Amino acid sequence: MTMTHETTGVLGTRMLRKEDPALLTGEARFTADLAIPGALHLAVIRSPYARARIVSVDTSAARAHAGVRAAYSGADLADLWAGPMPCAWPVTADMKNPAHLPLAVSQANYVGDGVACVIAETAEAARDAAELVDVVYEPLEAVIDLEDAVSDRVVIHDEIGTNKSYTWDLKVEEQEGDVDAAFAAATYTVKERYIQQRLIPAAMEPRAIVAVPQPFGGDMTLYSATQIPHILKVMVALTLGIPEHQMRVIAPSVGGGFGSKLNVYAEELLCVALARKHNLPVRWTETRSEGCQATIHGRGQIQDIELAADANGRLTAVRVRLIGDMGAYLQLVTPGVPLLGAFLYAGVYELPKAYDFSCTSVFTNMTPTDAYRGAGRPEATYAIERAMDSLAATIGIDPLELRRRNFIPTDKYPYEAFTGLVYDSGNHDGAATLAAELVGYDAIRAQQKTQNVDGAKRRLGIGVSTYFEMCGLAPSRVLASLNYGAGGWEAATVRVLPTNKIQVVTGASPHGQGHETAWSMIVADKLGVAPEDVDVLHSDTAISPLGLDTYGSRSLAVGGVAIAMACDKVIDKAREIAAHQLEANPDDLEFAGGAFTVAGSPDRSMPLAAIAFEAFTAHNLPDGLEPNLEAHTTYDPPNFSWPFGTHMCVVEVDVETGEIEVLKYVAVDDCGNQVNPLIVDGQVHGGIIQGLAQALFEEAVFDSDGNLRTSTLADYLVPAASDVPSIVTGHTVTPSPTNQLGVKGVGEAGTIASTPAVINAVVDALSGLGVRNMPMPASPNTVWSVINAAQGGSQ
Amino acid sequence: MEISITINGKAVSADVEPRTLLVQFIRETAGLTGTNIGCDTSSCGACSIHLDGEAVKSCTILAAQADGGSVTTIEGLASADGTLHPMQQAFMENHGLQCGYCTPGMVMAATSLLNDIPNPSEEDVRIGLEGNLCRCTGYHNIVQAVLACANK
């Protein structure tokens, strides 16, 4: 069954973005740009200790400072919270979740944990006064190492008695004992440990918040640089005991998120609570250093993966043991991140029902972790793709050949995987073949033979990674089975105004993805109007009351499909009006090019513009039909979507300095039908560089006392243009059969695929020197040390 | 202290604290919020503007140091009739922006780059923009935009 949408007209073109002029001219307003007269400025006093008992907090000097309205300790505000900060994903019934308040009351648990706050008439006064708050701490031993955390040698949160938040298992066997039997019978096995270092998302726009009360009108408006205005509205209402219908959340222009703005943060709750308490607007804008410490981090896992394979190199079993680093507290979806990867540790390969996954997640005295671009899926893909290279080396065959032997064959799609999930469509060999062609795979293998000789200073390597993205989050019933606290639907309204201009309301909440452009293209294609006649409204819960927001590459595959479905409903209603006016049978009307025409009678036609006006005046509508031409849809996807592809990276490694040069990067991504290839390529480029940054540059480094040593952009190496390569993009197109647009999603593909492609290339380059593994980030010093160790420390 | 800075052709005078940064003066005193702040270490370049014709990070200098100077911000780049500057147009045509937060600074840095090197190589562009960070685009299309603008 295919329901592939025929791409006509604007759909599938490289239409320039509607968002751009406002962003290019400074007209766009980010949250910190909003002029709110009379707003007080919040400053948060943060713990300088990773773990410390709060002995006392003296705010008297701060309160006496000029311009200061109030200063509070955590204890002062404890009564304001109707509940602790929310975690929406209790992954197991017995998951431990220590109470987390916007300001700590008795114990601070990471460097950056808020312990007190000041509100003042200016940001400068607030910050100056913050320096005057006298907090007496009793420093306690901090837990930084994950295995140390597992041991419970030091328990961070007394009230839960352990550092282990949960253990979550996914064991899939046809018959009990299949995994052990497969390993016992395997011709080849590999066992590897990989470390997913912590990363700082570093969206370019720091978080910013303004809470504006209307003490007489009753409502509270929260402006926030958030990805999730709808979820935030519900959570703020619950946490502060504000009636939900009196909360309005607006996300103005939002400067990137990558998961870091997919959360409910202490400062959001503080601003709303204090705005309510003082009946004045309260605002806060994060400094970058605060952001590095107190906005969520990503990754943070120890991965032990074992593969079993038969004599042909075909996988027969996979065993995975994870330790997940939750950080000091559980944020919104912190515990669920490793689970999102749990289904992907067999990559795009056929695996019998012989899979054994277990994840134990622990608290540490570091910044809380949560979803960061890819969320669990980059980690899983890294592990399987690195382990496949290890398996290829063990067998002694080319890594690309090993992958081809294991690919799920195209003719087996839709493919029911070992987990029971059904992969919608795929053509892995097609993507790999195109990537190999674009990169010149055989030529590079040939060149390696001449270049990587004994004594060679610069060694050439090529790395391959193949992936599934698993996006379109998500079928609500599947989320229920994972104990997720919400659904996965998306809402859309399409409204044809009397003058035939179109208003679209979406529950997705873009922050760089170009939804205004893409949604306009979908509507233009469906309704036969010009994209510039479509206006997309979003990110304001008063305008778009229903929605589940933007994360997990869900917006197009769920929200975009909802737009198309709402258009279908508009067309259905318009058909009734047209049939009535044309005195024809609705079934005899054809809709094309924005007009209904009676089949076989081209002169009997009625354009949508005329129908919209008829619907508006309601002078002559069919009996019982409501006026106005609009439709609403809430779409719950029947399945995840499964974008896939192959990336290949070519590097040269200087064995004397450890420096890595990326010579070429080829990405072949198949995200199904493309609404706008310009935007697709942009998503791929950005994702690849973010993943490459994990491979080569970035790490949130904590010392043994829990101090973040990379707390500014001078210390944390977000790559610049001069650090990274150009990218060659190619695409295959395998439409998804589960939605009418045939789309899948592409927001995280680059990040998922690139990290292993880069490290595989580096290890490949150095394989002749005995190098089998490479810690991330592969800085020159690390690379040199690994080479030196592989050479027996001779260098 | 009393200072006066010409911003986008218009004199803006104010009494400011000595510690006031130029970026604060632009955003808060002149009310031009197109210039963004992305860090506190002069690393990201989101606040890049032109001061007396040269691209500078407006967080690295005090407003007082720019007293009497002439500043161009992103708001001053497009023509009064609404026509985008060729660099703005090139960014749009090459999809050189996504979230748009780094974009004003990136565009200001890029125009300054082409003043210095009218026909840059790809490497010139990459090195020339190394003081401006972008998290969305992976730089590929920014580089393409600058090269396209240079070749117009």
List the strands of the sheet with A534-537, edge to edge.
Answer: A534-537, A502-506, A490-496, A629-635
**Domain B86-150, what fold?**
DNA polymerase; domain 1 (1.10.150)
Tens digits of residue pLDDT in A596-629: 999 999 999 999 999 999 999 999 999 999 999 9
Q: Map residue A256 onto helix, strand or coil.
A: coil
Nearest CB among B95, B97, B143 relative to A721 is that of: B143
Looking at residue A247, its amino acid is M
**Cross-chain Cβ contact A26/B99 below 8 Å:** no
Tens digits of residue pLDDT in A682-709: 999 999 999 999 999 999 999 999 999 9
CA A300 to chain centre: 15
Q: Name the closest residue on chain A to residue B130, using Cα atoms.
A: A720
Query: Rounded mean pLDDT of chain A?
Result: 97
Which DSSP state fits B28?
I
Domain residue extents for chain B? 2-76, 86-150
pLDDT bracket for residue A218 (50, 70, 90): confident
Mark which residues 173-232 of A lie under 8 Å from B by CB: 202-206
Collect all residues of chain A within an 8 Å Cβ-Cβ radius of residue B127. Answer: 721-722
The CATH number assigned to the domain with range B2-76 reads 3.10.20.30
CA distance A674 to B19: 50
Query: Rounded mean pLDDT of chain B?
Result: 97
How far away is chain A from the Cα of B52, in angstroms, using its nearest Cα? 20
Residue recorded with tokens 């307003």? A29
Looking at residue A505, its amino acid is V
**Cross-chain Cβ contact A721/B139 below 8 Å:** yes
Residue recorded with tokens 């292993």? A756
The CATH number assigned to the domain with range A489-635 reads 3.30.365.10
Q: Name the closest residue on chain A to residue B140, using Cα atoms.
A: A726
Indicate if ipTM > 0.85: yes
List the strands of the sheet with A589-592, edge to edge.
Answer: A589-592, A595-598, A601-607
CB-side exposure of A574: number of CA atoms within 13 Å?
Answer: 35
**Cross-chain Cβ contact B130/A254 below 8 Å:** no
CA A286 to chain centre: 21
Residue A376 has a pLDDT of: 97
Burial A53-69 (b: 16+ CB within 10 A, else e): ebeebebeebbebebbb
Give the helix/strand (H/E) hosting A189. Answer: strand A188-199
Collect all residues of chain B within an 8 Å Cβ-Cβ radius of residue A687. Answer: 138
Q: Name the closest residue on chain A to residue B44, using Cα atoms.
A: A713
**Domain A34-140+204-256+261-294, what fold?**
Aldehyde Oxidoreductase; domain 3 (3.90.1170)
Collect all residues of chain B within an 8 Å Cβ-Cβ radius of residue A17. Answer: 92, 95
pLDDT at A540 over 80: yes
pLDDT at A410 over 70: yes
Contact A640, A470 (CB under 8 A): yes
Cα torsion through B131, B137, B142, B148, rounded to 10: 170
CA distance A257 to A234: 20
Q: Name the closest residue on chain B to residue A206, using Cα atoms.
A: B38
Per-residue pLDDT of chain B (152 residues; tens, 9 = 90+): 999 999 999 999 999 999 999 999 999 999 999 999 999 999 999 999 999 999 999 999 999 999 999 999 999 999 999 999 999 999 999 999 999 999 999 999 999 999 999 999 999 999 999 999 999 999 999 999 999 999 98
Contact A15, A531 (CB under 8 A): yes
**Cross-chain Cβ contact B140/A24 below 8 Å:** no
Collect all residues of chain A within an 8 Å Cβ-Cβ radius of residue B7. Answer: none
CA distance A739 to B64: 59
- Cβ contacts of residue A574 below 8 Å, gap of 6+? A496, A591, A596, A608, A611, A612, A615, A629
CB pairs below 8 Å between A and B: how many?
Answer: 176
Looking at residue A25, its amino acid is T
Written as six digits, the tokens of A682 are: 């942009």
Mean pLDDT of A380-395: 98
Mean pLDDT of A576-584: 97
Residue A1 has a pLDDT of: 32
**Domain A298-473+639-790, what fold?**
Aldehyde Oxidoreductase; domain 4 (3.30.365)
pLDDT bracket for residue A794 (50, 70, 90): low
Written as six digits, the tokens of A494 are: 């399409």
Collect all residues of chain B within an 8 Å Cβ-Cβ radius of residue A373. Answer: none
Burial A578-597 (b: 16+ CB within 10 A, else e): bbbbbebeeeebebeebbbb
Q: Which of A118, A89, A93, A113 is nearest to A103 (CA)?
A: A113
As a whole-number percent, the residues of chain A with pLDDT over 90 amount to 97
Collect all residues of chain B within an 8 Å Cβ-Cβ radius of residue A287. Answer: 40
pLDDT bracket for residue A2 (50, 70, 90): very low
CA distance A46 to A286: 13
**Cross-chain Cβ contact A32/B91 below 8 Å:** no
Collect all residues of chain A within an 8 Å Cβ-Cβ radius of residue B74. Answer: 24-26
Q: Name the closest residue on chain A to residue B35, using Cα atoms.
A: A26
CA distance A655 to A780: 9
CA distance B122 to A326: 41
Tens digits of residue pLDDT in A728-776: 999 999 999 999 999 999 999 999 999 999 999 999 999 999 999 999 9
How far away is chain B from the Cα of A607, in angstroms, using its nearest Cα? 33
How far away is chain A from the Cα of B108, in angstroms, using its nearest Cα? 10
pLDDT bracket for residue A5 (50, 70, 90): very low
Contact with chain B for residue A681, Cβ under 8 A: yes
Mean pLDDT of A218-242: 97
Residue B113 has a pLDDT of: 98
Contact B33, B43 (CB under 8 A): no
Provide the sign of the torsion angle of the four alpha carbons A259, A261, A264, A267, taken in this order.
positive
Tens digits of residue pLDDT in A15-38: 999 999 999 999 999 999 999 999
Which DSSP state fits A245?
G
Tell me chain B's radius of gyration from C-alpha atoms: 15
**Cross-chain Cβ contact A204/B97 below 8 Å:** no
Collect all residues of chain B within an 8 Å Cβ-Cβ radius of residue A728. Answer: none
Intervals of CATH 3.90.1170.50 along chain A: 34-140+204-256+261-294
Intervals of CATH 3.30.365.10 along chain A: 298-473+639-790, 489-635
Provide the sign of the torsion angle of the four alpha carbons A329, A334, A336, A342, taken in this order.
negative
Nearest CB among A25, A688, A712 relative to B43 is that of: A712
Q: Name the closest residue on chain B to residue A253, using Cα atoms.
A: B99
Could you tell me the CA-to-CA distances from A642 to A383, A393, A603, B55 in Å, in that order?
Answer: 19, 29, 45, 45
**Cross-chain Cβ contact A689/B139 below 8 Å:** yes
Contact A106, A53 (CB under 8 A): yes
Provide the sign of the torsion angle of the four alpha carbons A445, A449, A454, A455, taken in this order.
negative
Collect all residues of chain B within an 8 Å Cβ-Cβ radius of residue A28. Answer: 34, 100
User: Higher confidence at residue A774 or residue A9?
Assistant: A774
Could you tell me the CA-to-CA distances from A632 to A230, A238, A491, A614 in Å, in that order?
Answer: 17, 27, 7, 20
**A contact test, residue of B101, B122, B125, B146 with most A CBs within 10 A:** B101
